[in-house]
Structure 1
Amino acid sequence: MDEEALRELAEERLRALAGPDAALREDQWAAIRALVLERRRALVVQRTGWGKSAVYFIATALLRELGEGPTVIVSPLLALMRNQVAAAANADVHAATINSANPEEWNDVEERMASGEVDVLLVSPERLNNPDFRDTILPELTQSAGLLVVDEAHCISDWGHDFRPDYRRLRTLLTELPEGVPVLATTATANDRVVADVSEQLGVGGEFTDPQETLVLRGTLDRESLRLGVLRLPTAQARLGWLAGQLKELPGSGIIYTLTVAAAHEITSYLREQGYEVAAYSGRTDPAEREQAEADLLNNRVKALVATSALGMGFDKPDLGFVVHVGAPSSPIAYYQQIGRAGRGVQRAEVLLLPGPEDREIWSYFASLAFPPEPTVRAVLDALTEHGKLSTAALEPHVELGRNRLEMVLKVLDVDGAVQRVKGGWEATGEPWHYDAERYRRIEVERQAEQQAMLDYQATTSCRMEFLRRQLDDPHAEPCGRCDNCTGSGYSAEVDEQAVQQAQERLQRPGVDIAPRKMWPSGMSALGVEVSGKLPADEQTTTGRAVGRLTDIGWGNRLRELLATGAPDQELPDDLFQAAIKVLAAWEWERRPVGVVALGSRTRPKLVRSLAERIAGIGRLPLLGEVLTNPNTTPNRATNSAQRVASLWRQFKLDDELAGALSGLDGPVLLMDDYADTGWTATVVGRMLRQAGAPEVLPFTLASTS
């Protein structure tokens, strides 16, 4: 097929995909031509809504007509996959997915792949190293693929705003592709450093050993429909009050982004009380609920989704009318990616940032979860070398890493060839491994620069869109003429006093649940603690309560101040005493408590004792005593459940007076502490109280971390 005929066929496919008036952009055709005629590798960096998916769907259709195998698309999010399956159908391209949400469909998808019914297979990057998929499906798929697509390719790069270790496995996949199989990478958010990094990685393997062999097609990142603005409001309640007053004025339906899960739920509850149809959306939302929420937004059944960054890449609603951020992301690049959800198919969309003073603390928290220091990582390798194959849960007792960070470390070590994932867990390969301290240091420096740039974005008096485009090294960056700074106009900071008062009442409404632990961590016997499996019912605590979460935008600020590292130990402040009373008054317990127990604290003994004493006094309950800390133990802020339980196991004891007071009680006891983090302290101490005779233990804290 000659080039002219191929382009006409491509134009026909585009019209089927995007409508009768659609025409290929020159860069779209350049990418399709490179993939189909020249079988090259290409990186397309274009703004959200430009039509990157059209490139790979059209290229797939043309390659299939030429007798090539199916396209494999590595895609990071389920929302992205769902949208792409639907979009592919419009181009008469049959797509299917294999991901964590549809295991019941895997066999059917594999059979359809084998019979040639599937033109496009979308897989998550995590699937690439699933042992069954990697060993049985991937080799055949690699040999038969007609095109490999890496969507949201900035995830490959350490410098991308959403780096994912699983994406680095693509380097291995690229080396195994037969020569002549074209590769396409796409992203809307890549600066010069990310472009160079991704280009280099795409140049691995086959005949493309020179990074220059990768065709880079990079266009302007301006979004003509977006009206950017920043509005500084003095308090959290002012920001919520402003939302309540202005949300109905914002065009169509949209997204309200928050930095934490807690904030998403707080804002959702408040806006619902104000009469708005909104829904919360986060990585903790049940998959079925997430899918329903996406559908509700797509079909304008809600005014907004109040979402964390879990609603990001790939969510495609062309008529999305606004994006509001309550709290600033830590990177201008991440911010650009999120606001790119708006205004794809409308002439005007509102984009507004409502920054808060707590933003920097939240950035700092997430930064603390970065790649751990070398001794910690070496401990993971040593444990696998010494004990052989271990599951992630069985590995936890041997290392001081929480589950999420441990999984990240294992993925990085896997990509680096030091460990490999096998059925039933992980094992060391014996290959030498180098801790790249310099790379991790450079990444940390870059992250700090990004945070400062985000503060500079808020403060700039110049064009906001130009600022973001320069952060992405857009060579075409220029003033947009549309943002609040360019036009000299923006949203008013005036907020209805009644709305502020209602917001304050909602934010100051105390009380969150503390879910009890019901299973002991795996591998406790290796740490000298002989417990396993499910906690017996007569050793469990009941669901507890806290005044608020440290991540709340209401009580969170007050609690962070009180419980900050280095903050002085003090008597319980009156405002928190009154909040505690409200939580206890609203607690619908089956049986009223008959006594109060203080949980001994090394860091805030005065705070915890005064909490227990004042609650006992106001509730006319006996203060039964205090769980003592063992002076012969050293507290260990272990970062995973097994290590945490082992540390706590030896930290506490009951004196004879408290044990005697618990014996023969005919009702629950309140267990008072300053804050709950993992829940294991209340679990271990609650077990002690139950064994001493307490019929029921009700944990109560001032704060919860989740």
Structure 2
Amino acid sequence: MSAAATEATPAEVRHEAEAHLRALVGRDDAVLREDQWAAIEALAVHRRRALVVQRTGWGKSAVYFVSTLLLRSRGAGPTVIVSPLLALMRNQIAAAERAGIRAVTINSTNIGDWEPIHDAINAGEVDVLLVSPERLNNPGFRDEVLPRLAATAGLLVVDEAHCISDWGHDFRPDYRRIRTMLDDLPEGIPVLATTATANERVTEDVQQQLGRDVLVLRGSLDRESLRLGVVRLPTADQRLAWLADHLAEQPGSGIVYCLTVAATQEIADYLRSRGHEVAAYSGQTEPTERQALESDLIAGKVKALVATSALGMGFDATLGFVVNMGAPSSPVSYYQQVGRAGRGTSEATVVLLPATEDRDIWAYFASLAFPREELVRQTLEVLAQEGRPISTAALEPRVELNRTRLETMLKVLDVDGAVRRVRGGWESTGQEWSYDEERYARVREAREREQRAMLDYLDTDRCRMWFLRDQLDDPAAEPCGRCDNCGGLTLSSAVSQAAVEEAQQRLARPGVPIAPRKMWPVGMDRLGVELKGKIAAAAEEGRAVARLTDLGYGQALRELFRPETPDGPVPVPLVRAVVEVLGDWRPPVDGIVVVESATRPTLTADLADGLSRYLQVPVLGRWAVVAPDVAPGKGSMNSAQRVAAVGRRSALEAEPGALEGRSVLLVDDLVATGWSLTLAARAIRGAGAAAVHPLTLAAQA
């Protein structure tokens, strides 16, 4: 630091900082709030570490951009910002450019730019580098780029810092690599961690991970512009009808949040049919389309994006409303979502329409938590036996976990020191590792408490903003005077008969395509199964009545497939739905093969017999259980394991020549992975059938 900079008084530095702020926000009257200045002073003057827990819209990005300009003017290296979402990165880069800050990003969508970006950093031409947390776990970046950045950075920013913590509502294992980066930073490089959604426990955890001499600035989490309310309607068609009737009344443009990808598509289709300009948005939306949809929402070209939480943290726009079709599993994550509204506007409406099926969806996502100890040990044993790097794809067939859960588990083991990600995949470090059952149990219990709290939010007669702030341990929580319970918002639960009837028709329209599997899983030979490449004798596209998560028949199917529901014939409403699916689909079939079920034999037999009578075609065979010692769902979390298990468990039983030249309807109760239907179709085609058309009551997702 130069002598002039050293001699500058705090007042002079603040004057300089506010000049930068005015350039950043484009307003000549902009001044720093006291808590913003406290954070900037800690970072840019005293080179300390700071944790800022402040509400959405408070101006956390202004703190790190102004600090960057101050530090850069004094000869410091570039700021490195670890940022979790591409939408957030795009907003931050646009904001930085307004203040003359040279900002670039390294993430999964711009691989071709990485080398010139590294060259620009080395040449001192970059002020801010935004990095996705996944980059921190990339071997080349971790071993070659990260140490250089850690040594030369002027400021490290960890955005959405609650992701570091097990207790945070959006824990991400890639973020745990930041702890290593913090330990490697030279003395005197300031660190800023920011979040809008951290209760006291998360705050303490993040503060501990930041280490020494941390300034914690925790402000009021009130959102003065938000008016919160709950509308309770008993059925899915009424909730859809409410949205169709009342969406146009909501101020400006906004977001309709859903719990599942399928719901975003279903609801967006329905709203478009009712004349609303909306679009679906989820983690499955292509990156280029996501960017275009975000731009349309910001520009007000659409009334709403019907989205999952993929449109979440850090999305910066002036939105007039957020509607949740279904409740998130915790008040903290709900606070995060409603925080998308009311930024840059004096008033925004937030409406929650809870559903009875919300808890089923919560339970499904909870089932994807950290795996059982035996599965972790199995993975570690395979890596140790291999003795060389092995890719996730090659490891997957040998472990009973799907690709996503396996990858997440390996990232946690990497940070724990039990495995290491290297070029070519993963390798064992040989270090002793213990399964921290106590910690995982505490996290599970915390999640269960959060779910109970979310249910309490729905029923409370106290102020709703107070409730959310209290869940976040905001000591200044007080009644807002703006929500439905405070009398500041009146929400009608009325719906028009026309909207209800159209919603009923939409939801009563059964039929979900079942896409055929096209390729065998990789690594089948390692399991002693000689299947690879393209599936030659594939099924045709099939049909299910509905997904278990669907708004219409989903409820009836969830009830039917609950473990406590006794086996029995197909319920009459579902019989009608099957008939309607067949009427729309009209597969050309002249025979039936039924998939035998060990858990619901009456259900599948009744379905096949009823279809035989209705279609007037014979039941010609069974995909029979020949090895009952292989559990019905064995290997269901992993494609290769599932194929191997189904191949051992089941076989085709039919009279010789009975299937020759036939077009077969393959009947099952529930399709989860699709591999049972695939192997059954392969066997049926192998017995001479000309085509196989799968039909099931339900699809898992």
TM-score by length of 2: 0.97
1:576 aligns with 2:574: yes
1:703 aligns with 2:698: yes
Residues 58 and 91, structure 1, Cα contact 8 Å, conserved in 2: no
Q: 1:704 to 1:419 in 2, by over 3 A?
A: same
1:610 aligns with 2:606: yes
Structure 2 letter corresponding to 1:238:
Q
Residues 636 and 644, structure 1, Cα contact 8 Å, conserved in 2: no
Q: Which residue, 671, 675, 679 being the options, matches 2:674? A: 679
Residues 229 and 489, structure 2, Cα contact 8 Å, conserved in 1: no
The residue that corresponds to 1:156 in the other structure is: 164
Residues 278 and 303, structure 1, Cα contact 8 Å, conserved in 2: yes
Q: Distance in 1 between matches of 2:542 and 2:104?
A: 44
The residue that corresponds to 1:357 in the other structure is: 356
The residue that corresponds to 2:687 in the other structure is: 692
Deviations 1:143-194 (A, max 9, x none): 1111100000000001110001110110101111111110000000011101
Deviations 1:78-100 (A, max 9, x none): 11111111111111111111111
The residue that corresponds to 1:328 in the other structure is: 327
SS where residue 581 of structure 2 aligns? helix
Quote the offset at 1:595 in angstroms: 2.1
Q: Which residue, 641, 644, 654 being the options, matches 2:642? A: 644
Structure 1 letter corresponding to 2:14:
R
SS where residue 101 of structure 1 aligns? coil
Aligned-residue identity in percent: 62
Q: Which residue, 144, 148, 161 being the options, matches 1:140? A: 148
Q: Which residue, 9, 13, 16 being the options, matches 1:6? A: 13
Superposed, 1:653-668 pairs within 5 Å as 653-657=651-655, 659-665=656-662, 668=663
Deviations 1:229-285 (A, max 9, x none): 111111111111111110011111101111111111111111011011111111111
1:449 aligns with 2:449: yes
Q: Distance in 2 between matches of 1:565 and 1:627?
A: 23
Aligned residues: 690
Q: Distance in 2 between matches of 1:338 and 1:489?
A: 19
Quote the offset at 1:438 in angstroms: 0.9
Deviations 1:639-698 (A, max 9, x none): 2111111110012222341x4211233xx3111100110111111111111111112211
The residue that corresponds to 1:370 in the other structure is: 369
1:235 aligns with 2:235: yes
SS where residue 655 of structure 1 aligns? strand
Superposed, 1:73-92 pairs within 5 Å as 73-92=81-100
Quote the offset at 1:361 in angstroms: 1.2
Quote the offset at 1:593 in angstroms: 2.3
Residues 14 and 22, structure 1, Cα contact 8 Å, conserved in 2: yes
Deviations 1:58-82 (A, max 9, x none): 1111111111111100001111111
Q: Distance in 2 between matches of 1:255 and 1:20?
A: 32
Q: Distance in 1 between matches of 2:167 and 2:280?
A: 30
SS where residue 602 of structure 1 aligns? coil
Quote the offset at 1:296 in angstroms: 1.1
Residues 321 and 343, structure 1, Cα contact 8 Å, conserved in 2: yes
Q: Distance in 1 between matches of 2:692 and 2:131?
A: 46
Residues 466 and 478, structure 1, Cα contact 8 Å, conserved in 2: yes
Q: Distance in 2 between matches of 1:524 and 1:601?
A: 25
Q: 1:29 to 1:347 in 2, by over 3 A?
A: same
Quote the offset at 1:608 in angstroms: 1.5
Q: Distance in 1 between matches of 2:526 and 2:210?
A: 44
Q: Distance in 2 between matches of 1:654 and 1:40?
A: 69
Residues 520 and 531, structure 2, Cα contact 8 Å, conserved in 1: yes
Q: Distance in 2 between matches of 1:301 and 1:618?
A: 49
Residues 245 and 496, structure 1, Cα contact 8 Å, conserved in 2: yes
SS where residue 485 of structure 1 aligns? coil
Deviations 1:539-560 (A, max 9, x none): 1112211110001111110111
Residues 633 and 650, structure 1, Cα contact 8 Å, conserved in 2: no
Q: Distance in 2 between matches of 1:571 and 1:323?
A: 42
Superposed, 1:213-362 pairs within 5 Å as 213-317=213-317, 319-362=318-361
1:29 aligns with 2:37: yes
The residue that corresponds to 1:551 in the other structure is: 549
Q: Distance in 2 between matches of 1:633 and 1:533?
A: 29
SS where residue 661 of structure 1 aligns? coil
Q: 1:361 to 1:238 in 2, by over 3 A?
A: same
Quote the offset at 1:565 in angstroms: 1.4
Structure 2 letter corresponding to 1:689:
I
1:94 aligns with 2:89: no
Q: 1:664 to 1:136 in 2, by over 3 A?
A: same
Q: Distance in 1 between matches of 2:629 and 2:235?
A: 43
Structure 1 letter corresponding to 2:609:
E
The residue that corresponds to 2:482 in the other structure is: 482
Comparing 578-587 with 253-262, which one deviates more in the overlay? 578-587
Q: Distance in 1 between matches of 2:382 and 2:618?
A: 49
The residue that corresponds to 2:624 in the other structure is: 628
Residues 160 and 196, structure 2, Cα contact 8 Å, conserved in 1: yes
Structure 1 letter corresponding to 2:614:
I
Q: Distance in 2 between matches of 1:287 and 1:621?
A: 47
Q: Distance in 2 between matches of 1:583 and 1:101?
A: 40
Structure 1 letter corresponding to 2:107:
N
Q: Which residue, 154, 175, 189 being the options, matches 1:181? A: 189
The residue that corresponds to 1:383 in the other structure is: 382
Residues 72 and 123, structure 1, Cα contact 8 Å, conserved in 2: yes
The residue that corresponds to 2:559 in the other structure is: 561
Superposed, 1:456-475 pairs within 5 Å as 456-475=456-475
The residue that corresponds to 1:533 in the other structure is: 533
Quote the offset at 1:408 in angstroms: 1.3
1:50 aligns with 2:52: no
Quote the offset at 1:489 in angstroms: 5.0
Q: 4+ residue runs of structure 1 moved beyond 6 angstroms?
A: none
